[in-house]
Chains A and B, each alone.
Chain A
Amino acid sequence: MSTIAVKRRAPVRPGRVLLHVVLATMALAWLAPLLWAIYAALRPYAETSEKGYVSLPDTLNFDNFTNAFTQSDMTHYFVNTLVIAVPAVLLTLFLSSMVAFYVSRFDFRVNLALLLVFTAGNLLPQQVIITPLYRLYLLVDLPGITMSGKLYDSALGLVLIHVAFQSGFCAFVLANYMKMLPHELTEAALVDGASVWRLYWQITLPLCKPAMAALATLLSIWIYNDFFWALVLISTGENMPITSALNNLSGQYFTDPNLVAAGALLTAIPTLIVYFLLQRQFVSGLTLGANKG
């Protein structure tokens, strides 16, 4: 018993080496599916169908990527995503910070009830509300406002449901953040005659920058990655954001596995860029609101 204990503690090195071997092997295994997709995407279809996919490459090039991109007119779908994601992220942050400001600074009686409603709503599976939501979107007539004349099949409809669904989580996180800010700040400003709006816009919000940055990163990736809302609430393939369009495109344009791989990887690129540039924000957002499903 004691020998084991001694063995374990005295020579640190072998243990560490073993740990690195284990971790490195696992990390490689974790990257393997992605590397496999990249490898397939870099090879011409003719070559892989002749030699098999597990073989050494003769040619490696980006042809599949350029073909996937141009044939399916991917730019169009990326623009669709932008039109949905940018307003949705901004509006979510704007609305949820207002609620957070209200509950954390002014009314503690409704505070809990309001936060409870928001957080619980955010934890529901989307499918619980989709059937009535789908009907509601078909019922709401918006002639001249959206292309389809309804909330259904419109970017506006998607923006609204993203905002409604995600604001719960953001309100919860921001309210907790604002509670940590010193009360003297807003109090002093109020005594000086500042309006509530100034209190919110010029004093509280600038102090919430770190939390807002984290949430913005997280929301961008979530909304970009959304598949379900657009699948159900958009009927015209042309109007779909990129992630949901992928499913249609793979049947229509990506005729071989190499093209499918290239197409799927292309849609992953924006999230990967955001992730590598803003990893800190993303991870902190995820952990600060760890109650998110």
Chain B
Amino acid sequence: MTTNITKENPEAAAVPPPGAAPAKKQKVPTGHRRLLTRRDRLTLGLMATLPTILHIALVWVTALASIALAFTTWDGIGFDSIHWVGLQNFKELFEQNPQFWPAVQHNVIWFVVLIVIPTPLGLFLAVQLDKKIRFSRVYQTAFFLPVVLSMAVIGFVWQLVYNPDTGLINSIIGANEPGKYIDWIGDPDLNLWAILVAASWRHTGYMMILYLAGLKGVDPSLREASAIDGANEWQTFKNVVFPALRPTNTIVLVVTIIEALRAFDLVYVFNGGAEGTELLSILVTTNIIGESSRIGYGSAIAVVLLLISLVVIVPYLVSTFRKERRA
């Protein structure tokens, strides 16, 4: 199913092959410009600014406000009560919050697990399903189904699997009787891994679809040449196909890191971020909707999350847009 789509939509190539000649691109707008009436200019101005203002106000101003508030204490009642406290929030976070370092650790584990297990698995499935085999579409649908479901529903579904009393796993292995309970949801040594199974379940399908799209973009003549040279399937994949998937690999890496940082719904539904499953996103949120709303402190956690995200986002965007400029 992806075959047609990627071919139909020119933009489907995430990193498009250099399209129109750059010289032409530069010339056209100036030509356009001369023909514009005053009203046209006004329309254009509104078209560009209205959406931008909304986006910047709600996303960027708030992100900057997070940074600013991280250095203050504020009870949220009136602007007079905002007090500058310097690095105190961070100090408290790093030194006194017993949940902070576990949360950082869990976010890292989340990423490592996603990149080590479901990502290669998704790639494997994509490579297999990319061969023109029968039922390819049926398989794709099965693997991709979890990606369509909301994380909340996924959390509920896996709760049913992991429930100590009534769940599938304990019922099958006979651990659902008093004395033999395995508490997949509550046990801090187990619950993170149990949730990661659910997260991987979803992530595999997502990666499969990204790689399927990437594989369609690999020049078939490369593979033919490799086959003519006598390379077997694995050699062709390792030496020819995988290197050609580089743009996809970059996207996969960025998507996986962002997913690991965003992980929230699944854990929140599964056990509310109980001991063993703390995440940075959960800490930020419980600080808002919990009983003691400490705005500065919550913002300090958000800033940590922001910094980690920017380490990923900035290099990625710089390289993407550099390519675009060249194109």
Contacts and interface: CB of A to CB of B under 8 A. Distances in A.
A105 B47 CA distance: 12
A211 B142 CA distance: 25
A147 interface: no
Given A105-B32, A247-B269, A271-B148, A164 B232 contact: no
B213 A34 contact: no
A83 interface: no
A108 B25 contact: yes
Q: What 8 A-B pairs have minimum CB-CB distances, sorted nearest first?
A: A293-B258, A225-B150, A287-B213, A132-B65, A95-B51, A264-B156, A164-B58, A284-B5
Contacts of B168: 33, 36, 53-54
A128 B66 contact: yes
Interface residues of A, number: 121
Given A131-B298, A214-B9, A287-B6, A123 B156 contact: no
Given A8-B232, A196-B36, A257-B163, A131 B287 contact: yes
A114 B55 CA distance: 11
Interface residue range, chain B: 35 or more
A67 interface: no
6 contacts: A37-B156, A102-B47, A121-B55, A127-B281, A168-B59, A260-B156
A211 B59 contact: no
Given A260-B159, A268-B153, 19 more contacts: A27-B139, A33-B168, A34-B145, A116-B321, A121-B56, A124-B309, A128-B66, A132-B69, A164-B59, A177-B10, A200-B47, A214-B9, A246-B269, A264-B156, A267-B150, A267-B153, A268-B149, A272-B145, A283-B1
Interface of B: 1-2, 4-6, 8-12, 14, 16, 19-20, 24-26, 28-29, 31-33, 35-37, 39-40, 43-44, 47-48, 50-52, 54-63, 65-66, 69, 76, 125, 128-129, 133-135, 138-139, 141-146, 148-153, 156-161, 163, 166-168, 171-172, 176, 198, 201, 204-206, 209-210, 212-213, 232-233, 248, 251, 254-255, 258-259, 261-262, 264-265, 268-269, 280-281, 284-285, 287-289, 295, 298-299, 302-303, 305-306, 309, 313-314, 316-317, 320-321, 324-325
A52 B175 CA distance: 12
A30 B159 CA distance: 16
A9 B231 CA distance: 11
A33 B143 contact: no
A282 B148 contact: yes
Contacts of B47: 98-99, 101-102, 196, 200
A19 B324 contact: no
Contacts of B305: 125, 127-128
A135 B74 CA distance: 11
A61 to B, nearest CB: 18
A244 B262 CA distance: 17
Nearest to B151: A227
A283 B284 contact: no
Contact of B148 (A176, A275, A290): A275
Contacts of B150: 224-227, 243, 267-268, 271
B200 to A, nearest CB: 11
Interface of A: 5, 8-9, 16, 19-20, 23-24, 26-28, 30-31, 33-34, 36-37, 40, 48, 52-54, 95-96, 98-99, 101-103, 105-108, 110, 112, 114-121, 123-136, 138, 160-161, 163-165, 167-168, 171, 173, 176-177, 179-180, 183, 186-187, 190-191, 195-197, 200, 210-211, 214, 221, 224-228, 231-232, 243-244, 246-247, 250, 257, 260-261, 263-265, 267-268, 271-272, 274-275, 279-280, 282-284, 286-293
Contacts of B48: 98-99, 102-103, 107, 110, 114
B211 to A, nearest CB: 10
A171 B51 contact: yes
Contact of B166 (A31, A48, A231): A48
B258 A123 contact: yes
Contacts of B213: 287, 290
B9 A54 contact: no
Contacts of B24: 183
Nearest to B250: A291
Contacts of B171: 52-54
